Amino acid sequence: MKTLSFLLVLVSTTTFSQSLLWKVSGNGLKKPSYLFGIYHIMKDSYLNQNPKIKSAYEGAEGVVVETEVDSSAMLSMAMRGLMLDKSLDKLLSQTDYQLVADEFKKGTGYDLALFNQMKPIVTATMLSLAYVQKESDTLNSFTGLPLDLYFASDGRKRQKTVSALETMEEQMAFLFDHDPVEKQAQNLVEMVKEKDDMHDMSKSVTELYLKQDLQGMWKMNEKSGNTFGNMTYLLDERNHNWMKRLPGLMASRPTFVAVGALHLPGPQGLVELLKKEGYQVEPQ
């Protein structure tokens, strides 16, 4: 989703096939599993025009998503997003704060003062999501649930085994706590100053996704440079963590793995990491 993926800095020049769906076989697997790169805010009616993806999902006995909503962790997650002893207006100069406030109001319709004690990366996430939604009429034409929520809920209805690669708390720790709030605040200012580039990226991302152009998405992230600080950890560290679980999940049953599209490419991407473990990973 833009909230995570398109704030990431990517540094490889690896060429990558134009496909979001990858077949994983070999290395002792009795039946193949599938790896699918999702766009987190794409709705599930998208699958109606992609029979290969739908078939791979329906044929799998297990479903794996990044995380699932855990109502018992919601309070903890909300608290993790707060700065109890700091505020954004104190982390920024008056000029920078006003710059961000004006853009935040324009983008989201909310007063920044309402989020003054939220960690700056929460504000950045909200703003980047607003950019995507405003720039993409095509995205708004799809209906249903966001893809990852759909696969988890529909998978249970179909009596598939549904697994998550990380808890909500683990995912939020990566996003909220990896960098100090002072760095997050400065990155937020830089993001607003480079808003034209952000708008351009937001306008392109849905088109690239609909073309299943993973290479194009990869190149766009390379071009985006240091838009919001070095956040490769959101991909690389999590990919390596997930590789501790994925082999066992795929060995137990043919599995459909649905994770953010930018977790697939690159030297630390899941496709390469699976290949290094001895699997055959082929675009479909």
Q: Which residue has the higher pLDDT, 202 or 119?
A: 119
In a domain, 1, yes or no: no
Q: Which residues are CB-contacts of 145 (< 8 A; sequence separation ≥ 6)?
A: 43, 44, 153
Residue 266 lies in a domain: yes
253: domain range? 21-283
What's the confidence (pLDDT) of residue 55? 96
Phi, psi angle pair for 234, to nearest 5°? -65, -25
The arithmetic mean of pLDDT across residues 42-65, rounded, is 95
Q: In this structure, is residue 9 part of a structural domain?
A: no
Between 72 and 108, residue with greater pLDDT: 108
In a domain, 172, yes or no: yes
Mean pLDDT of 114-121: 94
Task: Give backbone dihedrals phi and psi of 256, rounded to 5 degrees, phi first.
Answer: -105, 115
Please give the backbone phi and psi of residue 258, each rounded to the nearest 5 degrees, phi first. -115, 105
- Give residue 66's pLDDT: 95
Q: Is the confidence at residue 51, as pLDDT, over 70?
A: yes
Q: Write the pLDDT tens digit of every residue in 220-262.
A: 766 665 444 455 778 888 999 999 999 999 999 999 999 999 8
Q: Which tokens is 20 given? A: 């979001």
Distance CA 236, CA 226 (A): 16
pLDDT (0 to 100) of residue 9: 32
201: pLDDT strictly greater than 80 = no
Using the CB atoms, write b or e for 195-231: b if 16+ within 10 Å: beebebbbebbbebbbebbbbbbbbbbeebeebbbeb
pLDDT at 15: 53
What's the number of domains the chain is made of? Answer: 1
- Asked whether residue 11 is assigned to any structural domain, the reply reads no
- Stronger pLDDT, 193 or 266, i.e. the higher one: 193
Question: Does 3 map to a domain?
Answer: no
Q: For residue 12, what pLDDT band results from cuts at 50, 70 and 90?
A: very low
For the ranges 118-122, 233-237, 264-268, the maximum mean pLDDT occurs at 118-122
Instruction: Look at strands 21-25 and 33-38 and give their pairing.
Output: antiparallel
pLDDT at 231: 58
Mean pLDDT of 21-42: 95
Residue 143 has pLDDT above 90, yes or no: yes
Q: How many CB atoms lie within 10 A of CB 93?
A: 10
Would you say the C-alpha torsion 54, 56, 60, 65 has a positive or negative sign?
A: negative
Q: Is residue 35's pLDDT more than 50?
A: yes
Please report the pLDDT score of residue 215 as a whole number: 81
Share of the chain above pLDDT 90, in %: 57
Contact yes or no for 60/256 (Cβ under 8 A)? yes
| Mean local confidence (pLDDT), 186-196 | 89
| Residue 265 located in a structural domain | yes
Q: What is the pLDDT of residue 141?
A: 86
Backbone torsion region of residue 28, taken as left when φ is above 0, otherwise alpha when ψ lies between -120 and 50, otherwise beta:
left
Residue 10 lies in a domain: no
Minimum mean pLDDT among 80-89, 182-191, 199-208, 251-260: which range? Answer: 199-208
Order of all β-strands in the sheet with 33-38: 161-164, 62-65, 255-260, 33-38, 21-25, 280-283
Distance CA 100, CA 95 (A): 9
Beta strands in the chain (DSSP E): 21-25, 33-38, 62-65, 161-164, 255-260, 280-283
pTM of this structure: 0.84
